[in-house]
Each structure stands twice: as C-alpha cells, then as structure tokens.
C-alpha cells in the first residue's frame, strides 16, 4: 500500500474506527466506490454506515417516486410530503447522505439498473442490489462476474421482521488473525444463480427455514410477474400452494417451510425499522471486510428473524465447488 | 451531560460537525424530530446521577434504555429502576462486540446480579519502580510526572518515593522539580529529564533486592540521547498562533504522523519540546492542569515520557495514537455494531411495552460466529438470590472492629464496593452516619466524630455478630451487613484490612499490593459478559502501525478475556444458559441417504 498518511481531518474524524480496524483499512475504504440500488429502509441504514466509514463514493439507483409507504422505514427521508413530493427515492436519500460525511461523494444514477452494462459496473468495487427481481439480481451478478475486476456483489432484502443478505465475492483472498499471527486465506463463492439452484435436499439438515421461505416468495413473484415485495394477503393461498409444489419437487418435508412463517412474510408489507438497522449494520461490516481484505467474510447468506433473535450464517453452495 | 466531540461523528450520526460543543441530548432530539416530528422528546442536559432523577422520576416511564459509558452510572440506574419497578434494557458495544440485556425486577437478573469487574488498578510500586507493561509507563507519565509538573502541587504524589536513602532523595526531589532562579527553560527541561529518567533509575538500581528476578532498567540521560542541534530545529514557537490548544510539539518539530513509533531520540525531542511549550505558552494553567486526551500537547508529553521510561525498562515503545488510546481510556467504536445493537435494543423495548414477558432475551453480537450465529439470543437468567442489590441478601464483612474506623468502612465498603454515594449507616435504630443537605450542625458534628471512631467504640458499638444496615435513599437500596471480627489480615491479599463476602466482585488488581493506582478511566461501553471465542479482538487489522501488539495493553475492562457464554458452566453459580432454540428437528424426506453424509464445506 502506498505510504500516504491520512489527512488531519480524517485522523480526527475516524479516530475511533481506526482503533478498530487500523489505518490500512481506512485508506482502502477511502478509495472504494460503492453502487447501491433499491432505497428502502435497510439500504438506507447500510448507506449511512458506509458513508460514515469513509468510502470514496456512493452511487444510488432508484427512480421510484417517494410515497408514504416507501419512506415509512427510511430515516433519511423526512415524512413531509411538501418536501418529498415528486422526488425519487434516490434523490431524497442522496441529499441526506451527503450530510453524514462531507468527505464522501454521494450521487444519483438514473435509469433501470437491469439495462446497465458491464462497463457501468466496472466503475465500482461493491454492488448492493435490493428491491430487485431475481432475474435482475442474476443479471447484475453475471455482469459483475464477467469483469476482470473483482467486484463484491451483495443482495439484501427485508420482509416483515426478517432479513436476508447474500454475498458473492467470487474468489476472495483475505487475511485473518490467528493467535498472534496473520494468516492468509481464500474463499470461493458461488454466484446467486449457482447458490439458489443447489437442490434443497442437498443442503444440511438444519438450514434455517427462512432460506426456504424467502425462495418461495421469490419464486412466487417471478412466476406471477410481480414487483419485489408486491404481494397481498390474498396471495397467501397461492403462495402456500407454491410452497407445497416446491417442497415436493425438492423432496423436502413441508415442515421446513412453516406456513406461519410464509404468512408473516406475506402480511408484513412494510419493513421493520430495528431489523433494517441490524441488517444494514451486518451488511456494512461485510462490505468493509471485503474492501479491506481483512477478516473472514461471511459465506454466503445471512438471515435474521426478530422472532427468535438469531442472526445466522448459512453456506448455500454446491459441495463439489469449494474453497 | 455530554457535549458533542469530533471523534463522535464517525458513528453518532444524529450529530454534525457544526454541532461540536453542543449538548448531545438537545441536538439528538432535534435530529430525531426531523424524521419523526410527532414524538414528544424531552432532553435533559444533566448527569443521570443527579438527585433530581429519583425514583419518582423513573416511575414515569414504562421502560428505560441505557446508553451509558461507565459502570457507576449503570449501577445507579439499575437500582433506581428496581426501586421504581421499571424494566431496564441495558447494552454496550466495543469494536465489533456488543450485547443487549433485559432486566425486570423479580423476573430476571438485575444488572448487578452478575458482578461486573471494576476498572483495572495497578500497585503503586509497579508504577513507581518496576513497570513491566507500557500501560504502567503511561500511568507513571500521566498521574505522576504530568501531575507533579503541571497539576495541583498540594496533591500527594508518589514520584521519587522509593529509594534506599529516603531523606536525602526527597530533599533532592523538592529541589529537582522547582525551576531554579533564572534557569534557562531548555536547561530546566534537561534537568528534569535527567532526574526522572537518569537519576531516579540509578537510585532504584541501587536497591539490589528489587532486581534479583527482574531485568534491570537502563538510566537515560539527555546528553547521551540528544542531538545538540535541537535548538536549531525548533521552529515556530514565536510567531505561531497564541491559541494554547493548537500548540504542539509534533508540529513544532515537523513530525506529522501520530501512527509513527518514535525512536528514543525522537521521543526525547518531543519530551523537551512539549515541556518547553507548556512553560512558554501555558504557564497560566499550571496547578490546575489535569490530563485530557483531547489536549494535544498533554498527549504528546505523556507519550514521550512514557516511551522514554519504557525504553529504560526494555518495554516496547508505542505511537502517539496508541498511547493516547491507553492514556485516554479510549473505547474503539464503529457505526455498524452500534446500529446492530440499537436495533436489538428496540426489539426488546417493544417486547417490554407489549408485555411480551416470555420472549425477553439477552442478545450477543459476536465478531466470529458461534454455531453459525453472529447474533446469539440467550434466555435471561432468574434473579440471583445472593445479589445484595435486588434480592437484598445480607453480606458478611470480616473486619478488625478494634482497629478499623467508621471512616474506613464508609469509604472502602459503602462507597467503593457498594456504590452508595448518599448512604445512611445504622446499627439497629442508632444512626451512625448519614449524608444530606438538611442536617443540623449538631448532627454533622456527631457524624464527623463517629467517622473517626473505631468500630467497637462507636456510641452503638459494632462488634462481631452485629448487623450494620446501610441505606441509600436515592437508590432506595438497603443492604444488611453481618460483621465478623477478625484480628489479622494479609497485607498483600487484603490490603484494605477488610473482606466483604456473599457478593463476588472480581477485582482487577494485577498483583495485590499495599496501594493501587488506576488509570483513571471508567469502564467502557461494552459489558463484561460478552462471550468471545478464543480468538478475540482485532481481526480487521491491528491498531498498531504494523507491529503486533495485543489489545490487552489497553486497561479497558471490555478488552479482558471472557468465558464463552454458550459454553458456560460452573462459572455461573446459577441457572445454566439456555439458548433460545426452537428448531424442530424433523427429518428430511429424501431418497438418497448418501446425500446427508456430504461434508460441510470449509
């Protein structure tokens, strides 16, 4: 790493976090470019964290016009219709985020992210996709993987009081502390397509039920052509039926995807702010780890359910390809 | 009561640069109202230990959420919540670790059911004569040298205490620290340097006994270390701004990087330059100065002094950045962990408000997963039946009732151990001592007299078998203490001459000795019951600039080793930990039995 010293301003502002992760990590953060799409509550929390951490730039994509529902769990957007009326979620969040750290460049990119090409994504070190259809997630992930640069790819979604993070760091080298030494390690990550196509019966027995439930919701939206999160209580019977079909097709006992859990995910249309904070915090930490190359990143799913309070890592990958 | 500082802004996101210096409570309120305008928020820019915040005050609330940074305040609020019967959600974070705990009177442990370690203290002689860790050098530089030179002259100071020839050395010490008439500032500085780093070491070396099993320190003299070109190096002291807070030895000497580990020579230059700058620019403050981690010149001085001493004793040197953290008891903190813990606090608070009593839990945020979990929920424990705070179980005190005075009892037990600041001490119906504003002169005189009496000679004598009752009206806490007379106490193990039992507070004194000095800090944000795997701390790069150094140097209670909660056993003296785990263990319906035998991926 080059021998630049942090500026006095950076040293003063970042003192407490430099004591956690060191100057080298702080320097790497200051050169990192982050792209984020889908500005709901959880992503807002993540953006706040990554801006405070001191990245070089943050680009927001979300052309949806603000509505009361859309901003209900988004603390970056003041609930004053006179203020937010007519503006897009990205624009509103951008204005707020700039305030958190004047040293970070925050901007908006307009357009449909699924139409952006590889050279667009090449500008970034980290891409976070939220409020996207499965098809869009796969497409962005593929484009990132085709580039020679190693882009860290994440998806994040919260439904009701549950949250899910997916991580794809491709081939990731990192160092971690073991006793008093720094040891070099590496991990191999599957793409999102590869991960979710691992047959359910091939997964370890105790994989969290939330994984399966999220896949059911995802599949329902795909089949019905719905926008992400666009599910009503009237859909519940259809979703339960789909669950049955998927379990059968996967030779999985239905009890692995409890009806009650699906019901919660269907009925809980709004995000739950404390879960946004928790998921946004975990995601923030993971992105910082990926940028710094220090510390073992989680592989490759993280789940949180406020009902049982567990924050669980699940490794959903094909046993043949491994690190 | 805190005001906003620049170093808060990396995580306390309700605050902006323009708010630095303002009240946290007031600014936080304004910031929250921006995105939730209809909440009623009342800010109090005050200390939660103020008597205004009494039991009646706490009774107004359905739930109390703590975000405190010291043990005293937490214990205080714990007691008030118990007295007011209001559930308390406690929490803490340090770096990547954190936890949230719920405390409901009668249902769960109170915050003090599991004793929390007090801040680390060090025996005096370790600091004055036989340092073995860098933190010992810091404490010496901060609480002895800095205090002696720039602080209250009337304060007792242990500098120069130990030598074979006590009388003459103390005489010399008096002279040594006083500036001689018309003495040149540079010369004065070098003289002090030579005295503390040279002469005092020689004196210590002359005591053979001390060094029998220890590495002998090397005396350091300025003439051996310094360049004579120092005088030419000094830049800007005349001409630079007169603002005392911007005066800096590093700036003056052109040393820019606080992460650098300076050589002995560089440390010496900083020492002498900082010394000079204090005298030239800040003499007005002498007699009143206490070390402040945000005082750049003070930090430079203490860093340099600690490093020179460390060099003498063969202890690794540290950068200013590291030294500042140790001297200032700085808690390392990031926005992400705080966000996670904040979310968890709200989840518990909502349960309290909904009276969802069966679902309260403690949640631990781990740096490394345990059983796949980064966030680990745990069932709360039942109240500890021997907790003197919530179960009002009597304690036992072994003490020499013929020798110990009431004052000793009041200071060492009531205040220091029990954390009561407005106590009433009674024997049966006889009121032996109390603190209050509305006492009449006679009573005050009576209490003062009592303090000086030996226990068995009090108007209502305290002897073996007596029960003393101590009450704190503010905390609404009553504690009964059964007295057992004991003649002898081990000077090393029981330096206070008293032994309180029935309640275990783990003391953090490194090696017991007659007296102890602490680093002046209170505990950090993180609680002491955070579980960690064997590999704790610091995965994301060490704090130091490349050299490997354990964070155990930090006298911060939160950096100590803890036993893993998930595997706790007899270290807890009551109910075993129950993980909240409601997974149904149903078998998968599968055709191929071979599939289940697949190996877990690394």
| Range of lowest pLDDT (A156-160, B121-125, B198-202, B428-432) | B121-125
pTM equals: 0.84
Residue B473's pLDDT band (cuts 50, 70, 90): confident
Q: Give B179-189 pLDDT, tens digit per residue.
A: 888 889 999 99
SS (H, E, C) B15-34: CCHHHCCCEHHHHHHHHHHH
Assembly ipTM: 0.96
CATH code reported for the domain at A8-194+271-314: 3.40.50.720
Is the Cβ–Cβ distance between B524 and B92 less than 8 Å?
Answer: yes
Is the Cβ–Cβ distance between A167 and A297 less than 8 Å?
Answer: yes
CATH 3.40.50.2300 fits B46-118+332-378, yes or no: no
- Determine the longest span between alpha carbons in chain A, in angstroms: 61
For testing contact with chain B, the best of A47, A83, A165, A281 (most B CBs within 10 A)? A281
Residue B589, pLDDT score: 31
* Average pLDDT rounded to a whole number, residues B389-414: 92
Q: How does A204-216 read in b/e, with b if 16+ C-beta sit within 10 Å?
A: eeebbbbbbbbbb
A111 contact B CB<8A: no
**Closest Cβ opposite residue A281 in set B36, B37, B336:** B336
Residue B550's pLDDT band (cuts 50, 70, 90): very low
B479 included as an active-site residue: no
Residues 271-290 on A with a CB inside 8 Å of B are: 273-278, 280-282, 284-285, 288-289
pLDDT surpassing 60 at residue B19: yes
Residue B428, pLDDT score: 87
Q: Give B274-285 pLDDT, tens digit per residue.
A: 999 999 999 999
- Let me know if A137 is exposed, middle or buried by CB neighbors in 10 A (0-12, 13-18, 19+): buried
Residue B578's pLDDT band (cuts 50, 70, 90): very low
Contacts of B592 in chain A (CB under 8 A): 201
Q: Match 């030494």 to its residue by tokens.
A: A181
What is the residue-wise DSSP string for B201-256? HHHHHT-GGGGTTSPPP----HHHH--TTHHHH--TTTTS---GGG--HHHHHT--
Share of chain B above pLDDT 90, in %: 63
pLDDT surpassing 50 at residue B331: yes
Query: Is the preceding peptide bond at B116 cis, omega within 30 degrees of 0?
Result: no
**Tokens for B80?**
């008030």
Contacts of B542 in chain A (CB under 8 A): 22, 177
pLDDT surpassing 50 at residue B585: no
Residue A320, pLDDT score: 63
Residues 48-87 on A with a CB inside 8 Å of B are: 48-49, 52-54, 75-80
**Tokens for A313?**
């890592």
pLDDT surpassing 80 at residue B154: no
- Return d(Cα A281, Cα A290) in angstroms, integer: 14
- Return d(Cα A105, Cα A127) in angstroms, integer: 16
Closest of B332, B254, B301, B11 to residue B137, by C-alpha: B301
B355 phi-psi bin (left φ>0, alpha ψ -120 to 50, beta other): left
Residue B339, pLDDT score: 97
Q: Is B387 known to sit in a ligand binding site? A: yes
Residue B467, pLDDT score: 93
Containing B362, the helix (H) or strand (E) segment is strand B362-370
Is the Cβ–Cβ distance between B262 and B270 less than 8 Å?
Answer: yes
CATH class entry, domain B124-161+177-224+246-328: mainly alpha
B433 DSSP β-pair partners? B425
Average pLDDT, chain B: 81
CATH code reported for the domain at B395-501: 3.10.290.20
Share of chain B above pLDDT 70, in %: 77
- Return d(Cα B372, Cα A246) in angstroms, integer: 26
| Range of lowest pLDDT (A52-56, A81-85, B229-233, B303-307) | B229-233
pLDDT surpassing 90 at residue B3: yes
Secondary structure class of A261 (helix, strand, coil): helix
pLDDT surpassing 90 at residue B360: yes
pLDDT surpassing 50 at residue B298: yes
Low-confidence spans in chain A with pLDDT less than 50: 1-2, 322-323
- A313/B343 touch (CB, cutoff 8 Å), yes or no: no
Residue B504, pLDDT score: 55
Q: Is B69 known to sit in a ligand binding site? A: yes
Residue B219's pLDDT band (cuts 50, 70, 90): very high
Write down the H helix ranges in A150-227.
192-196, 209-224
- For chain B, the first-to-last Cα distance in angstroms comes to 49
Residue B562's pLDDT band (cuts 50, 70, 90): very low
Residue A231, pLDDT score: 93
**Tokens for A75?**
């603390």
Residue B518's pLDDT band (cuts 50, 70, 90): low
Contacts of A319 in chain B (CB under 8 A): 598-599, 601
Between A236-249 and A259-267, two packed helices, what is the crossing angle to 10 degrees?
Answer: 140
Residue B285, pLDDT score: 93
**Closest Cβ opposite residue B35 in set A78, A180, A282:** A78
The residues spanned by each domain of chain A are: 8-194+271-314, 198-267
For testing contact with chain B, the best of A66, A278, A295, A299 (most B CBs within 10 A)? A278
Contacts of B36 in chain A (CB under 8 A): 79
Residue B486, pLDDT score: 93
Residue B559, pLDDT score: 29
Secondary structure class of A181 (helix, strand, coil): strand
- Return d(Cα A23, Cα A8) in angstroms, integer: 13
The residues near B306 (Cβ < 8 Å, ≥ 6 apart) are: B134, B137, B138, B140, B141, B142, B318, B323, B327
- How far is B459 from chain A, CA to nearest CA, in Å? 54
**Tokens for A79?**
């609930």
Secondary structure class of B369 (helix, strand, coil): strand
Q: Give B448-470 pLDDT, tens digit per residue.
A: 999 999 999 999 999 999 999 99
The residues spanned by each domain of chain B are: 46-118+332-378, 124-161+177-224+246-328, 395-501
B3 DSSP β-pair partners? B23
Q: Give B526-541 pLDDT, tens digit per residue.
A: 443 433 322 222 222 2
């Amino acid at each position: 790493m080059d021998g630049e010293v942090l500026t006095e301003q950076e040293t003063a502002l970042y003192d407490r976090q430099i004591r956690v992760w060191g100057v080298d990590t702080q320097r790497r953060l200051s050169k990192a470019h982050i792209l984020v799409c889908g500005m709901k509550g959880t992503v807002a929390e993540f953006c706040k964290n990554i801006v405070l951490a001191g990245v070089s730039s943050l680009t927001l994509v979300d052309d949806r016009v603000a509505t009361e529902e859309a901003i209900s769990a988004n603390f970056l957007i003041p609930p004053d219709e006179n203020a937010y009326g007519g503006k897009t979620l990205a624009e509103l969040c951008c204005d707020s985020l700039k305030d958190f750290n004047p040293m970070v460049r925050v901007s908006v990119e307009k357009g449909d992210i699924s139409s952006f090409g590889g050279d667009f994504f090449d500008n970034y070190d980290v891409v976070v996709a939220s409020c996207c259809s499965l098809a869009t997630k796969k497409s962005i992930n593929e484009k990132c993987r085709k580039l020679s640069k190693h882009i860290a790819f994440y998806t994040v979604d919260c439904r009701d009081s549950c949250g899910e993070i997916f991580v794809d760091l491709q081939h990731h080298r990192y160092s971690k502390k073991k006793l008093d030494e720094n040891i070099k390690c590496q991990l191999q990550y599957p793409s999102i397509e590869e991960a979710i196509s691992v047959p359910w019966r091939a997964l370890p027995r105790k994989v969290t039920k939330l994984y399966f439930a999220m896949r059911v919701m995802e599949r329902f939206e795909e089949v019905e052509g719905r926008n992400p999160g666009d599910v009503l209580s009237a859909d519940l019977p259809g979703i339960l039926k789909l669950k049955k079909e998927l379990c059968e097709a996967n030779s999985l006992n239905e009890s692995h995807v409890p009806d009650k859990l699906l019901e919660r995910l269907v009925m809980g249309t709004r995000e739950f702010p404390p879960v946004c904070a928790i998921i946004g915090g975990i995601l923030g930490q993971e992105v910082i780890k990926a940028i710094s190359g220090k510390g073992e990143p989680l592989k490759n799913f993280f789940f949180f359910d406020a009902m049982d309070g567990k924050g669980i890592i699940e490794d959903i990958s094909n046993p043949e390809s491994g690190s | 009561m805190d005001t906003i500082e620049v170093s808060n802004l990396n995580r306390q996101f309700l605050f902006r640069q323009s708010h630095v210096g303002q009240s946290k409570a007031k600014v936080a309120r304004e910031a929250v109202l921006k995105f939730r305008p209809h909440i009623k928020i009342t800010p109090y820019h005050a200390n939660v230990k103020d008597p205004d915040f009494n039991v009646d005050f706490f009774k107004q609330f359905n739930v109390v959420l703590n975000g405190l940074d010291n043990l005293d305040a937490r214990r205080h609020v714990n007691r008030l919540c118990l007295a007011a019967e209001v559930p308390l959600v406690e929490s803490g974070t340090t770096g990547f670790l954190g936890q949230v705990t719920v405390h409901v009177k009668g249902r769960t442990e109170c915050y003090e059911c599991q004793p929390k370690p007090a801040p680390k203290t060090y025996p005096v002689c370790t600091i004055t004569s036989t340092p073995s860790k860098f933190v010992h050098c810091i404490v010496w530089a901060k609480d002895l040298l800095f205090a002696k030179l720039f602080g209250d002259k009337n304060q007792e100071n242990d500098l120069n205490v130990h030598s074979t020839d006590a009388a003459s050395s103390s005489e010399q010490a008096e002279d040594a620290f006083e500036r001689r008439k018309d003495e040149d500032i540079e010369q004065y500085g070098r003289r002090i340097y030579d005295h503390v780093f040279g002469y005092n070491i020689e004196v210590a070396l002359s005591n053979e006994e001390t060094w029998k099993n220890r590495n002998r320190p090397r005396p350091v003299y300025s003439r051996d270390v310094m360049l004579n070109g120092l005088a030419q190096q000094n830049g800007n002291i005349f001409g630079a701004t007169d603002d005392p807070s911007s005066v800096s030895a590093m700036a003056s000497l052109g040393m820019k990087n606080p992460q650098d580990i300076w050589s002995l020579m560089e440390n010496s230059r900083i020492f002498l330059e900082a010394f000079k700058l204090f005298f030239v620019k800040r003499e007005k403050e002498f007699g009143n100065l206490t070390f402040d981690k945000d005082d750049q010149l003070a930090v430079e001085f203490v860093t340099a002094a600690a490093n020179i001493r460390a060099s003498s004793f063969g202890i690794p040197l540290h950068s200013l950045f590291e030294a500042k953290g140790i001297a200032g008891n700085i808690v390392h903190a990031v926005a992400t962990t705080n966000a996670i813990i904040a979310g968890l606090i709200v989840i518990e608070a909502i349960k309290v408000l909904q009276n969802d009593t069966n679902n309260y839990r403690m949640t631990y945020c781990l740096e490394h997963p345990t059983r796949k979990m980064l966030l680990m929920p745990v069932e709360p424990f039942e109240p500890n039946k021997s907790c003197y705070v919530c179960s009002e179980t009597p304690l036992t005190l072994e003490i020499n009732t013929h020798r110990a005075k009431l004052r000793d009892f009041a200071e060492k037990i009531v205040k220091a151990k029990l954390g009561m600041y407005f106590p009433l001490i009674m024997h049966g119906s006889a009121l032996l001592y109390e603190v209050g504003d509305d006492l009449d002169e006679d009573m005050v005189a009576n209490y003062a007299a009592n303090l000086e009496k030996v226990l068995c000679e009090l108007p209502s004598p305290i002897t073996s078998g007596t029960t003393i009752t101590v009450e704190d009206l503010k905390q609404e806490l009553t504690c009964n203490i059964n007295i057992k007379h004991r003649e002898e106490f081990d000077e090393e193990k029981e330096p206070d001459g008293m032994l309180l039992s029935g309640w275990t507070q783990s003391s953090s004194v490194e090696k017991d000795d007659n007296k102890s000095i602490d680093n002046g800090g209170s505990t950090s944000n993180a609680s002491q019951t955070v579980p960690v795997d064997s590999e704790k701390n610091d995965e994301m790069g060490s704090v130091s600039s490349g050299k490997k150094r354990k964070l155990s140097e930090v006298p911060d209670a939160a950096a100590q080793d803890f036993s893993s909660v998930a595997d706790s056993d007899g270290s807890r003296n009551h109910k075993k930990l129950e993980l909240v785990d409601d997974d149904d263990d149903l078998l998968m319906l599968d055709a191929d039995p071979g599939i289940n035998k697949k190996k877990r991926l690394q």
